[in-house]
Amino acid sequence: MIARAILIGGALSAIAASPAIAQDAAPVPTETESAQDAAPVSADTDTLQDATVPEGSPSSVGTGADEGSDIVVTARRRSETAQDVPIAISVVGGEHIDNTGSFNVGRLQQLTPTLQFYSSNPRNTAVNIRGIGVPFGLTNDGIEQGVGIYVDDVYYSRVASATFDFLDVAQIEVLRGPQGTLYGKNTTAGAINITTRQPTFDFEARGEVSFGNLGFRQVKGAVSGPLSSNVAARVAFSGTNRRGTIYNVTTDKWINAQDNIGVRGQLLWEPSSVIDVSLAADFSRQNPECCGTVFVRTGLTQRSLARQYDALAEAQNYQVVSTDPFDRKTDIDASLNAGNELGGLALRANWDVGPGKLTSVTAWRYWDWKPENDRDFTGLPITTKSMNPSQHEQWTQEFRFSGDSGRLDYVVGLFGFHQKVRTQGVQEQGPAASRWLLSGDLANDPSVLNGLTAENDIRLDNTSAALFGQLSFRVTDAFTIQPGVRINYDQKDGSYDSVVTNGDGQLVTFGSTDPRIVAQRGVLAPQQFQVDYSDWNVSYDLTASYRFAPTLLAYATYAKSFKSGGVNLNGVPADSTGNPILAAATVKPEAVNHYEAGLKSEFFGRRAIANLAFFRTDIRDYQALVTNGQLGVLRGYLANAEKVRTQGVEIDFSIRPTERFNAYVNGAYTDAKYVRFVDAPCPPELSGGTTAAPGQAPSPPGTPGGISAANCDISGQRLPGVSKWASSFGAEANLPATLLGRAGQVYFGYDGSLRSNFSSNPTPSDYTWVDGYSLHHFRAGFRADRAFNVFAWVRNAFGKDYFEQLQVPSGNTGLIVGNPGDPRTYGATVQVEF
């Protein structure tokens, strides 16, 4: 009720304020429109934005083609050039997104080296910056994400939104490091700030059609213009289809396809020169047959040899369809679906009240997830059904006041958030499950596990509120200090209820001593508990910057931040009688200490930009998957690792010596590791055997029938998903030309990326290191001003075989499966604008 009252109050205040100003006053651009008009290019990635840069610039910090081509950003909730912002920030413009095929966050990571994106399906998606953000390898609704995703000032609490196509995007800012004193929801790792194109009072229309191999088809369009002298509207549409990249011999279908549609409508009302109100509605849907994996390899675990993958497969006369993962063949036999739908409404009002600007952002969003998965990753009927459909709603209200007074700039905000999540999970075992999951005589009886079913009811209510602000005080013309503070309250109430029945319709309970029931609950255990969490947190930061010259800015930042605590909603360990150990049901907040120093410079007549950032982030009580032997159980669950550290250096360089050529190089070295983590889950090569008794030494890795530790000390090892070295680079050249009597430019563009190896398991394993790889993309075409652009493109031009992610199926059989990256794709695009 409180959240709804805040929401309604914000909407009414935004509307009520509007009529106070004469309606015939001349309209002025909104803050977002001003940024679009002035900000043609990217900040640290040399990326074309929508305005004054000559056609064809693919990127970067202001490109420097002329003196007026600064990149304007709103990272600090006010319009300013990217080179004036004492924050490590990468900016990618809408035109570069369109021209490079970077139409979602997964592809955006190829342009921004410190952004990491991993997704085995939309729900199991991680977006991290500098190696931190959300736990890798575990989906849990009861925790927060560390990278905030914002679209036109609206916070998207579900990271699944990152899997959708960008829709009518003008500019994307990737802010690295804690941003909690500037943004409504706390963002300990950074923020992705997406700005869409806004309604215009001059008629405009743009359209784009692409087609390529694998049946790729993509259509984008937008129309904008006035409805009256002070009301404008904009409607945009995007649709993407592509055949899958993995062939399933069981169903005779290509899986992991793309099937996305999105529509967005906006109304802008400018009743006077000091106020504007916008109403936006959007809807996006995905409905592909997804998401399957391919066989990659096997490795020895500490299970008995007869219960490892090769022996089990032979005993069931099973042969995988291909042992070469880049044959892109699978034989998984369970139904697949990745139905994903989200949408919402947002009301935003800006009111210039003289000393500053008052902004109200009121929003409601929903997300429906309709999955079907094959969780045994084989063509055998081991797990025949696995799905966790989920319904999510959120309400947000933000009030923000920003302004400047002499040597002071300031932002102060009040943010309210309420989230409701309901999940209904089902897992069912099949006739091959006994052989695969049990030992002894019961393994030879398919009826023991056939039909064993767990039905889960998971609920979360999450409410938070925050008061935040940041002050920028120019001590001298060159020296500025910028303190910020945030006061945050979080409350989470959750429940987990799992009911298990066997194939005979009997309830599986902890009270039974029947050997069959005992074996069944060792596979799917019933559990029921309720949990709540609440806490207050205070965080703050301080940045000092000094401008040594008009084109040279140095800055240093210290931030004391936190990521909210949470609740375990995937089940918790149980004691010997089956009672849930409620001490493991809550997760402590992460405590973050962040240090950063950087330089931002322009030279060569502002035709070149070089930015440098050094950072270190220490996190106590890092939220991670653990196995805590002190509780006397082996079930993995979400808890806290003692300490994690990520540190490194980033460099961003771009140059435009002439309007005919520009280039960029961005690089990052990231050393992200567990400083202390003594009760981590063991990797597969150290798992599956008899649990070591006190004082008993575990067996060497991969010893069949060996002794396994209850947990593993992985202090000093690398965080998952992080490459130590990553870079992106590219260039574009053009020449004057005429096509069909139309004057324009012929151009050739290249964009590449490179990353070193990374661990693809929460605990590093010899079996799950993904080799480093580089990708290379080319495009060539003709454009005439901004009205017409036609080009051919090829992505992954050299056909590099690489993995986006490797996975370890449960059971410790030694099976490793993977998600191969896209093969070579090619096609053509036509863009028109009126």
Contact predicate 670/723, CB 8 Å: yes
Contact predicate 95/59, CB 8 Å: no
Per-residue pLDDT, 32: 36
Contacts with 737 (C-beta within 8 Å, 6 or more apart), sequence order: 743, 744, 745, 746, 782
Angstrom distances, CA of residue 616 to CA of 381, 386, 483, 592: 48, 40, 19, 10
Contacts with 389 (C-beta within 8 Å, 6 or more apart), sequence order: 368, 369, 370, 371, 423, 424, 425
Radius of gyration of the chain (CA): 27
Contact predicate 480/474, CB 8 Å: yes
Angstrom distances, CA of residue 186 to CA of 61, 105, 145, 180, 542: 27, 20, 9, 4, 16
| 684-694 core/surface letters (b: 16 or more CB in 10 A; e: else) | bbbbbbeebee
Dump pLDDT digits (tens) for 243-278: 999 999 999 999 999 999 999 999 999 999 999 999
DSSP conformation class of 187? -
What is the pTM for the complete model shown? Answer: 0.88
Establish if 87 belongs to a structural domain: no
**Averaged over 319-336, what is the pLDDT?**
95
Per-residue pLDDT, 507: 95
Establish if 444 belongs to a structural domain: yes
User: Residue 313 is inside which H or E element, if any?
Assistant: helix 309-315
Per-residue pLDDT, 69: 56
Contact predicate 282/263, CB 8 Å: yes
Per-residue pLDDT, 528: 95
Contact predicate 499/493, CB 8 Å: no
Dump pLDDT digits (tens) for 643-657: 999 999 999 999 999
Amino acid at 736: P
* Cα distance between residue 327 and residue 622, in whole Å: 39
Contact predicate 537/565, CB 8 Å: no
Angstrom distances, CA of residue 834 to CA of 203, 207, 224: 8, 9, 10
Q: Domain range holding 576? A: 35-52+58-67+97-833
**Averaged over 114-141, what is the pLDDT?**
81
Per-residue pLDDT, 636: 57
Contact predicate 511/517, CB 8 Å: no
Please, which pLDDT band fits residue 94 given cuts at 50, 70 and 90? confident
Q: In the beta sheet, which residues pair with residue 380?
A: none
Please, which pLDDT band fits residue 60 given cuts at 50, 70 and 90? very low
Name which residue leads in pLDDT, 394 or 124.
394
Dump pLDDT digits (tens) for 488-521: 999 999 999 999 999 999 999 998 899 999 999 9
Per-residue pLDDT, 511: 87
* Residue labelled with tokens 């290019």: 41
Please, which pLDDT band fits residue 224 given cuts at 50, 70 and 90? very high
**Averaged over 682-700, what is the pLDDT?**
91
Q: Dihedrals φ, ψ of 669, to 5°?
A: -110, 120
Establish if 11 belongs to a structural domain: no
Name which residue leads in pLDDT, 1 or 327.
327
Establish if 633 belongs to a structural domain: yes
Contact predicate 704/305, CB 8 Å: yes
Name which residue leads in pLDDT, 235 or 585.
235
Per-residue pLDDT, 799: 97
Lowest-confidence range among 39-43, 102-106, 175-179, 700-704? Answer: 39-43
Helix (H, G, I), strand (E, B) or coil at 182: coil
* Cα distance between residue 597 and residue 738, in whole Å: 48
Q: In the beta sheet, which residues pair with residue 456?
A: 425, 498
pLDDT tops 90 at residue 55: no
Name which residue leads in pLDDT, 324 or 96.
324
Establish if 25 belongs to a structural domain: no
Mean pLDDT of the chain: 87
Helix (H, G, I), strand (E, B) or coil at 437: helix
* Cα distance between residue 193 and residue 170, in whole Å: 11
Per-residue pLDDT, 138: 60
**Averaged over 318-331, what is the pLDDT?**
96
233: left (phi over 0), alpha (psi -120 to 50) or beta: beta
Helix (H, G, I), strand (E, B) or coil at 288: coil
pLDDT tops 60 at residue 699: yes
**Residues of the chain above pLDDT 70, percent:** 90
User: Residue 402 is inside which H or E element, if any?
Assistant: strand 390-405
**Averaged over 800-825, what is the pLDDT?**
93
Choose among 498, 541, 543: nearest CA to 521. 498
Contact predicate 777/137, CB 8 Å: no
**Residues of the chain above pLDDT 90, percent:** 68
**Averaged over 452-471, what is the pLDDT?**
96
pLDDT tops 70 at residue 570: yes
Dump pLDDT digits (tens) for 436-453: 998 889 999 999 999 999
pLDDT tops 80 at residue 19: no
Angstrom distances, CA of residue 795 to CA of 107, 484, 642, 750, 827: 11, 43, 42, 10, 9
CB-neighbour burial class of residue 681 (10 A; exposed 0-12, middle 13-18, buried 19+): buried
Choose among 397, 366, 518: nearest CA to 465. 397
* Cα distance between residue 569 and residue 814, in whole Å: 27
Please, which pLDDT band fits residue 137 given cuts at 50, 70 and 90? low
What domain count does the chain have? 1
Cβ atoms within 10 Å of 287's Cβ, excluding its own? 15
Q: Which two tokens stand for residue 388?
A: 């966790």
Amino acid at 702: G
Establish if 121 belongs to a structural domain: yes
State the pairing for strand pair 590-603/608-626.
antiparallel
Establish if 518 belongs to a structural domain: yes
pLDDT tops 50 at residue 829: yes
| CATH code, domain with 217 | 2.40.170.20
Dump pLDDT digits (tens) for 382-393: 999 999 999 999
| 289-302 core/surface letters (b: 16 or more CB in 10 A; e: else) | bbbbbbbbebbbbb
Q: How many CA atoms lie within 13 A of 548 on its CB side?
A: 9
Sequential DSSP letters for 491-515: EEEEEEEEEEE-TTSPBP-SS---H
Dump pLDDT digits (tens) for 409-440: 999 999 999 999 999 999 999 999 999 998 88
DSSP conformation class of 4? H
pLDDT tops 90 at residue 632: no
pLDDT tops 80 at residue 333: yes
Dump pLDDT digits (tens) for 739-778: 888 899 999 999 999 999 999 988 999 999 999 999 999 9
Per-residue pLDDT, 66: 33
Q: Dihedrals φ, ψ of 735, to 5°?
A: -135, 145
* Residue labelled with tokens 């004469």: 22
Per-residue pLDDT, 36: 34
Per-residue pLDDT, 204: 96
* Cα distance between residue 770 and residue 177, in whole Å: 26
Please, which pLDDT band fits residue 780 given cuts at 50, 70 and 90? very high
pLDDT tops 70 at residue 16: no
Tell me the residue length of the chain.
Answer: 834
Angstrom distances, CA of residue 453 to CA of 50, 386, 509: 54, 10, 13
**Averaged over 461-473, what is the pLDDT?**
95
Establish if 734 belongs to a structural domain: yes
Cβ atoms within 10 Å of 643's Cβ, excluding its own? 17
User: Residue 339 is inside which H or E element, if any?
Assistant: strand 337-352
